[in-house]
Amino acid sequence: MKKLKIDFDEIQKAAEDTERNAFDYFLDTETGDVIVLSQDIIVRAEQTLEEAYDEDMADFDEVHFDEVTEIPDWMEDEVELALNIFLHDKDRYERIPERIHSNGYSAMKEFSDTIENLQLKEHLLAILDGKGAFRRFKDALEPYPKERKKWYGFNAAFAKKDIEKWLKTIGVEAE
């Protein structure tokens, strides 16, 4: 198993972006870096591929472009990185998966059980059902800075366990 220095906070932030409307996230399994690609860059990379590939290309491992497509200078490096992630070095990069909702729910429930303020504890447990539970949970902790701070630490520790499990599935052990 490969040992890498891992930034758990960065991976947790990526995993908690469950919508992936604006960005997608990849782990560089050689450096441990988290790569963030905007959807604009991903779309531009896909367009570049569509415009530049030979139509009769059978083997996508050997990509040859018919023509060089025009990419704005400020996008070139990121589009090139996206192309490497999707084509040339795809074994090097692993897409960081979204956090499983049930794991987040379990973290909120376990944390709620640790709350000594019975009124707050009951309120937190009551709001866990249904859509929007994550937002309601955070909002409910807003007037309680001490408990909110504890929640973020508890959630980070809970997420770290999930991240370590995922890393093992891709052959990586955190240093």
- Per residue in 150-168, pLDDT tens? 999 999 999 999 999 999 9
Count of the separate structural domains present in the chain:
2
Mean pLDDT of 16-34: 94
43 has a pLDDT exceeding 50: yes
Does residue 34 belong to any structural domain of this protein? yes
Is 107 inside any structural domain? yes
Asked which of 41, 60, 95 is the last residue of a domain, the reply is 95
Query: What is the chain's mean pLDDT, rounded?
Result: 88
Domain range for 27: 19-95
Q: Let me know if 150 is exposed, middle or buried by CB neighbors in 10 A (0-12, 13-18, 19+).
A: middle
Q: Give the residue from 41, 65, 95 where a domain finishes.
A: 95
Percentage of the residues of the chain whose pLDDT score is greater than 70: 89
Q: Last residue of some domain: 44, 62, 95? A: 95
Q: How many CB atoms lie within 10 A of CB 106?
A: 13
| Mean pLDDT, residues 71-80 | 79
The pLDDT tens digits for 78-120 are: 888 998 898 888 899 999 999 988 888 999 999 999 999 999 9
Residue 166: its pLDDT value, please?
96
**Above 60 in pLDDT, residue 62?**
no
Domain contains 3: no
Tell me whether residue 9 is in a domain.
no
53's CB contacts (< 8 A; 6+ apart) are 63, 65, 66
